[in-house]
Structure 1
Amino acid sequence: MARRPHGGARICHCTRDTFSTRRRFPSAPTRYKTDEPQGEHVFTDPAQPNPSRQAACDANGRAGCAENEADPVFQEEQRHLSEVYAALCGMKRAIVAKIEKLDSDVAADKEMLADELTGNFASMGEAFETYAEFASANKSIDLYNAAQELNFQNLQKVSLLLHQPYFAKVVLQFKPGDAPKELYIGNAGISDENYRRLVVDWRSPVAETYYNQENGPTSYVANGRTIKADLKLRRQFDIEADRLNAYFDTTVAIQDAMLLASLSQERTSRMKDITATIQKEQNEVIRHQDCDVLLVNGIAGSGKTSVLMQRIAYLFYRQRETLRPEEVYLITPNPVFSRYIAQVLPDLGERNPETMTFNQFMAHIMPPERSRGRSDVDLSALERIDEAVRGLRFEPDDFKDIVCDGTQLISAGQIRQAADKFKRIPAGPHLVTLMREELHKRLNSRLRQMAASERAQNEATSLSIQEQVRIFHETIAPQTDAELRECALTYLNDRYAAAFDIVERDEWLRIDRIGMRLLRAEGLLPVEWAYLKMAVTGMGDASVKYVMIDEVQDYTCAQLMVLRRYFRRAHFLLLGDENQAIKAHTASFSEVRSLFEKTGLHVEECRLMTSYRSSPQITRLFSHLMPEEDRIRVSSVQHMREEPRIASFSDAASYEGALRETVERAKEHAGLTAVIANDRAALKRIAKMLGDAAPAVIDDDATLPARGVVLMTLEFAKGLEFDHVVIPDAREEVFGDDRVAKNRLYTSISRATGRITILAPGPITPLLQHEDRPA
């Protein structure tokens, strides 16, 4: 943190309204909603006829409703659901009443405090008394805010459950002869006023018995103790608000009716949570014991990203008191993907972590002109930096002036003098920390010196009323020379605030020059620059506890080393698919493991080998591009769909006509179709060829629609899924017989859930010749 003096302008009438600026009262009452598309939630009295349920009966026919009415299990579960829903409605009304009452109390107290707090600073004694009154008022505000924050958290939880109170039920017998215990599992846990557990949070230890997916003897770990039980019943529910649509009793994973129903739904423009349908192999990753590095290698469509999001929600639940969203970083492949997953955690009642792409991360830690450039740096280059820094001594030209708002505040020569003060200490993070402290002192001294000048004092007193209120929180009228200097100092601290940031960010060091001297190079690539600055200054964020990297197979060893060093105290969750490494020179999973182990971290691995995205036909098609030893382990749980359409054309006119026809037909289908070009140049050619019929192009700033047809490069399609995928150019020149080409084709095909069309204006790639279909 930059060290800035407060200006000391309290007794000189440059005072700030401490009460109004340090704390904020809860906002005025609002209308509370449950974020349903229909708007405000309508409380349903379960004892009264439910119009939506009656409409469902009319839609499904009288026979279906009569069947449910004749099913005693259905009737009992509907009765229980109605009771829970009524309790949740009552809780919501009570919470809203508390919020509104607290808002009313706050409004009354604000009026009282406004009358009582006069802000008298006429003398030192009266000023101290005023500060004591402010402190007391601030304490009251803190209590109000804490109570209101708790109310809103409870309101959010209840509102979440009003959408779907729960999705599953387990019946457990803990000891022979004891009565079985029924537990209902939902997206959040909640109890009634008598502390009777209405719904168990899916992340609680006992809920693991549901995700183990097999009836009979089971166990879970709670508070470090293994608890054994006999799972008598595993029941899944299809529930909307207070309406039970269906229930399913399952004994093994293959019978997971909820999963199959979920997979058959049409794709949407954003990712949904998979809480109700988490499978056993996915659950092992989500609930994996905390470790330094968890490396997850999963085939396309195995739910890696969904598992990642559920893992984050699980960690927030397990570390509720100690883990904050800003202490978790999620590194995503591109901005489109970031927007695609943005609603998963809020839908689970959690805040999103810090989310960014690697390029955005680099732009965050580097000057704008240095953050872009090649990333294919060899790991040995970073190792040379570590070696070179050990013997580094700063030279006079390694420093630069600290200039702010056109004014030189500290010269490079003065920084050299500060370095000479610590000349016995070798260059590195320790020396830079000492120099930073010294430069803060010199900067404060320089501003105090400037504040004594007539020019600075005139500038301070000549400020507009708006500027005075912004800087001093009131208009000023200094009466003495001391007050004038204090006001000038407060003004200068505001004007040159960026100078303290320059010191704190070590921007007074010429990292480029140091690097070129150490490495005997003409310039530094961004990854080299960032790593060198970390090695020299200790730049990094030690407060971050978890870093999640999706699509880790697309990172180089050097990029991963930068992240490892910057987040030096974090645990890492790395997810990817080696078969989706679509760039040359990226790290293999064995190299990823070795890299983190060499830095002293323990690495554990998990595999995900079941495809939940693609049909068996599409899964079979892309699995042919995998190494043989992995191919035999791949499976799909989806229903059989259309056979892939693969066609090659000997003349341009036939090819262009087929592509146009494919795009036009895709517009008539439900769901979302993606035309995936191999690179930017291919995308431009296809868009030009299709002319007015070209689909909308998806790039950095675009958001995926729920349906229609889009055109995008493979880089932007990464991690996404579509009902139909069109690969417009699958010639041998595009997809040769090398590993990267195989991976790019594998990745393109595996974006499809139900239909795949592969076209080629010439001979088809040999990678697909065993699947070739004549045009």
Structure 2
Amino acid sequence: MSVSKEEWQHEQQRIDLVRTKLRKQLSKIEPDVGQLKSQVVDIRKHFWDEVTVNLSHDDDILDTYLSLRQQAEVLSERERTHRQLKRQADRMNRLLPAPYFGRIDFKEDGANPAERVYVGVSSFLDEDGETFLVYDWRTPIASLYYDYAPGPAEYNTPGGLVEGEIELKRQFIIRDGHIHFLFDTGLMIGDELLQQVLSKGAGSQMKTIVATIQKEQNRIIRNDSSRMLIVQGAAGSGKTSAALQRVAYLLYKHRKTLTADQMVLFSPNPLFNSYVSTVLPELGEENMQQTTFQDYLHHRLGRRFNIEDPFDQIEYVLADEKTPGYAARVSGIRYKASTRFLHVIQAYKDQLLKEHMLFKDIIFRDQVIVSRQALSDRFYGYDPAIRLANRIELMKEWLLEELAAYQEQEMQEDWVRDELDFLDKEQYQRAYNQLRKRRGRAESFDDADAEEQLLRKMIVREHFKPLRSRVKRLRFVDVPGLYRQLYENKLLFQSLHRTAAAADTPVPAENADDRDGLPARWDEICAYTLERMNRGDLPYEDATPFLYLQELTEGFRTNTIVRHVLIDEAQDYSPFQFEFLKRLFPRCRMTVLGDFNQAVFAQATTLEGSTPVAGLYGPGETEQIVLHRSYRSTREIVEFTRGMLKDGAQIEPFDREGGKPVVFTSAGAGAGKGTDANTCADALVRRMTAEIKALQADGSTSIGVICKTAAESERAFEALNGLDELRLIRKDTPSFEKGVMVIPAYLAKGVEFDAVLIYDASAVAYSRESERKLFYTACTRAMHKLQLYSAGTLTPFVAELDPAVYTVETVE
């Protein structure tokens, strides 16, 4: 709805007024910020100059302590005040270019007149400290802007429900203090505003969406009641953006009890961490902790094994189809990520309480001092009601006592006498000091026997130190042997598998039981697993089950500090991983985000319906939200990509127009004319290079050349060498930057580009049904332009589409 010239001028005048008030308050605050910073630096630099140190008498020690405490309190107070004023100044500086993006006139029932509420990225009060010139988008009243059109509306406050009517809803785009776009709307967030925002180019980092939050996204952001919030969203539906705004909302609402370091984001790769790193700071909040599940696996198991990462695993799945044992490996990957195998491990833990528990000999100086059989006898000698982890804890305490007794015995052995002759002066001095301290300062040191006994004790204790450390770390439990036992003892596994099957848990079709009641290709799976473990390697599909078994055996490590866990690309997590994270963070709430249509890893988990994820906390504490509308790509790109999916008709494109995707093919390619394949590929590379240069000239600053695998990315990078700002993205690339990025499809998840070029869209690259979602994921990274290049027969994922949704150009 258009706004009159007078209204436009009135709004501009208000913006000018608010900016004037911002500058005025900043002129008062910023000098104080600078002075406080100087004071803090000065106090730190001269801290000890202000402290009187005298330790000769007890009174002097007290005086020194009080002096230290006083100086530390002064420093702490200055730092706290500086932080508060600095945050206040930062918020005002963020508001200066665009103080707000929305306005609602809300008339509360029984009140008159309507209150004008201007909504921005943070609140700003007039000099009286009471009048809101701008309301933070996270305030309760600001929810009206996102949830209602003009008419009856209501919002929740700590004091109860407030009802009334929205008389006007106005939206702005303000840049450098000037209104560029202004309209009144009867919609939630007007399509006009979204068109303006989405028509911009992609950046090197994700942007905030506070000005364009949709009603369904606002539901995600402000959900503060569910223990588990599951968001299944179509590609480009804004689920990750909404989750990050959710973090900012929770930090704002619970600012007295929740801090950023109590929130953890599990992201798909380091590149993604860089991509989203600026969202929270732009909203005035500190970044939460960010990690990957692979990082945690390395932290816990990296000393025992070389752990395969998920990217090496997917490279194998995508590129090694013709290698021996491929079918068994893929079958094993799917089975080991299933709920069935989770229940096998849980049944195994129960079985270990009765039999099959494995221990390692305790060895000192090449002699067994506590045998594995003695350990087993001790373990099974406990009350059967004591749970497994508690038995292990009891054994640890018993073993430490046994080691102390052996230590006393060893003190008189000849080898200790031999080592006495090789002690250095420092060790003798240490023994002398200990003996003097024990007997008193005044007594002379003339007891040779006492000296020798003390030195013997020091020697033996040092030799037993590694043993004590291993016992404290529970290394007497043979967890690798326990895990191997699953693959070595066929009868044991058969029994456990039947127990898990009795629970009626689903198992992938590829892993249907064979005649022996075992998963398909089980013998091959066992041989492969054991061979890798014997080499000190742990395949990615085994890492979480192994760690889960270790925790069931030894007791789960928990983190009670973290209160919120967010998991992005959650469709790529197995039931094992979800179960593990639930136990690792027992006091947290979870936000799980994903799209099953982008499940490119073999261990994919669906996020809709009665899934393992939904069952973690039960239906009473779980909410599931499905986002169908896609905002990232133009209507033409969405209509093209959704046709690749069985249920793609459910995906709703946002009405932003653009060109149809273009398929480039080589003349003669796949036509049986004897044309050399390399010639076709070279022609396409030349055309691709020209198209990239044209896109750059047209203003595209972020271009993705998406390949199927890392190996193909290497070849593409070499072929396109010479282009400006060309970068090769690998699994360990730490940052996302502008330019032309050559990237494997599985690393491109979660990010977006102005334009996407699919390097090889032929049937040779993409033909297996298992590759459909990978291809779909690659294509849905495009915001404005999508081009596909095929030197041979086109992938069936495109060939089966309605020809009307794309155009074809033949390259000579």
CA contact (8 A) 1:533 1:539 kept: no
Structure 1 distance, partners of 2:30, 2:208, is 27
User: Which residue in 2 is equivalent to 1:597?
Assistant: 615
- 2:482 corresponds to which letter in structure 1? I
Q: SS at the partner of 1:226?
A: strand
Shift of 1:208: 0.8
User: Which residue in 2 is equivalent to 1:306?
Assistant: 241
Structure 2 distance, partners of 1:305, 1:659, is 34
- 1:210 corresponds to which letter in structure 2? Y
Structure 1 distance, partners of 2:41, 2:740, is 53
Q: SS at the partner of 2:250?
A: helix
Q: SS at the partner of 2:762?
A: coil
1:622 aligns with 2:641: yes
Q: SS at the partner of 2:156?
A: strand
Structure 1 distance, partners of 2:658, 2:370, is 71
Q: 1:154 to 1:759 in 2, by over 3 A?
A: same
Q: 1:529 to 1:691 in 2, by over 3 A?
A: same
1:728-756 C-alpha deviation (Å, 9 max, x unpaired): 22222332262x33212211211111211
Shift of 1:241: 4.3
Shift of 1:622: 0.5
Q: 1:689 to 1:640 in 2, by over 3 A?
A: closer
Aligned match for 1:346, one of 271, 274, 281? 281
1:682 aligns with 2:712: yes
Shift of 1:614: 0.9
Shift of 1:122: 1.9
1:773 aligns with 2:707: no
CA contact (8 A) 1:402 1:502 kept: no
- 2:308 corresponds to which letter in structure 1? R
CA contact (8 A) 2:50 2:71 kept: no
- 1:398 corresponds to which letter in structure 2? F
Q: 1:640 to 1:104 in 2, by over 3 A?
A: closer
1:313-354 C-alpha deviation (Å, 9 max, x unpaired): 111112212222222111111211111111111111111111
Structure 2 distance, partners of 1:106, 1:676, is 50
CA contact (8 A) 1:623 1:634 kept: no
CA contact (8 A) 2:106 2:116 kept: yes
Matches within 5 A, 1:446-465: 458=426
CA contact (8 A) 1:325 1:353 kept: yes
User: Which residue in 2 is equivalent to 1:184?
Assistant: 118
Q: 1:505 to 1:282 in 2, by over 3 A?
A: farther
Q: SS at the partner of 1:260?
A: helix
Q: 1:248 to 1:331 in 2, by over 3 A?
A: same
User: Which residue in 1 is equivalent to 2:348?
Assistant: 388
User: Which residue in 2 is equivalent to 1:10?
Assistant: none
Shift of 1:612: 1.0
1:702 aligns with 2:733: yes
1:237 aligns with 2:272: no
Aligned match for 1:660, one of 686, 691, 694? 686
1:398 aligns with 2:433: no
- 1:758 corresponds to which letter in structure 2? L
Shift of 1:164: 2.7
User: Which residue in 1 is equivalent to 2:482?
Assistant: 514
1:224-249 C-alpha deviation (Å, 9 max, x unpaired): 62211211111122223433334222
1:279 aligns with 2:214: yes
1:757 aligns with 2:757: no
Shift of 1:270: 1.1
Structure 1 distance, partners of 2:736, 2:294, is 25
Shift of 1:280: 1.7
Structure 1 distance, partners of 2:40, 2:658, is 61
1:343-368 C-alpha deviation (Å, 9 max, x unpaired): 11111111111112221221123224
Q: SS at the partner of 2:291?
A: strand
User: Which residue in 1 is equivalent to 2:141?
Assistant: 206
Q: SS at the partner of 1:231?
A: strand
Q: Report the TM-score, using the length of structure 2 for normalisation.
A: 0.74
- 1:530 corresponds to which letter in structure 2? L
Aligned match for 2:23, one of 89, 112, 120? 89
Aligned match for 2:777, one of 732, 747, 770? 747
1:330 aligns with 2:265: yes
Q: 1:510 to 1:341 in 2, by over 3 A?
A: same
CA contact (8 A) 1:553 1:588 kept: yes
1:226-277 C-alpha deviation (Å, 9 max, x unpaired): 2112111111222234333342222214733221111111111111111111
User: Which residue in 2 is equivalent to 1:258?
Assistant: 193
Structure 1 distance, partners of 2:466, 2:180, is 60
Q: SS at the partner of 1:278?
A: coil
1:724 aligns with 2:755: yes
Shift of 1:563: 2.4
- 2:683 corresponds to which letter in structure 1? G
Shift of 1:430: 3.5
User: Which residue in 1 is equivalent to 2:510?
Assistant: none
- 2:178 corresponds to which letter in structure 1? R
- 1:236 corresponds to which letter in structure 2? Q
Structure 1 distance, partners of 2:785, 2:40, is 59
Shift of 1:140: 3.7
Q: 1:120 to 1:435 in 2, by over 3 A?
A: farther
Q: 1:437 to 1:91 in 2, by over 3 A?
A: farther
Shift of 1:760: 1.7
Structure 2 distance, partners of 1:190, 1:379, is 51
Structure 2 distance, partners of 1:415, 1:148, is 63
1:707-726 C-alpha deviation (Å, 9 max, x unpaired): 54221110111111112211
Structure 2 distance, partners of 1:535, 1:751, is 40
Structure 1 distance, partners of 2:797, 2:567, is 30
CA contact (8 A) 1:253 1:279 kept: yes
Q: 1:107 to 1:283 in 2, by over 3 A?
A: closer
- For the aligned residue pairs, the C-alpha RMSD in angstroms reads 4.3
CA contact (8 A) 1:400 1:509 kept: no
Q: SS at the partner of 1:700?
A: coil
Structure 1 distance, partners of 2:259, 2:478, is 35
Aligned match for 2:290, one of 355, 360, 382? 355
CA contact (8 A) 1:370 1:526 kept: no
Q: 1:580 to 1:111 in 2, by over 3 A?
A: closer
- 1:734 corresponds to which letter in structure 2? A
1:535 aligns with 2:532: no
Gaps of 5+ in 2: 314-332, 412-419, 442-450, 490-529
Q: Report the TM-score, using the length of structure 1 for normalisation.
A: 0.77
User: Which residue in 2 is equivalent to 1:470?
Assistant: none
CA contact (8 A) 1:392 1:426 kept: no
Gaps of 5+ in 1: 1-66, 463-476
Structure 1 distance, partners of 2:29, 2:230, is 42
Q: SS at the partner of 2:767?
A: coil
- 2:112 corresponds to which letter in structure 1? D
Structure 1 window deviating more from structure 2 (535-544 vs 123-132): it is 123-132
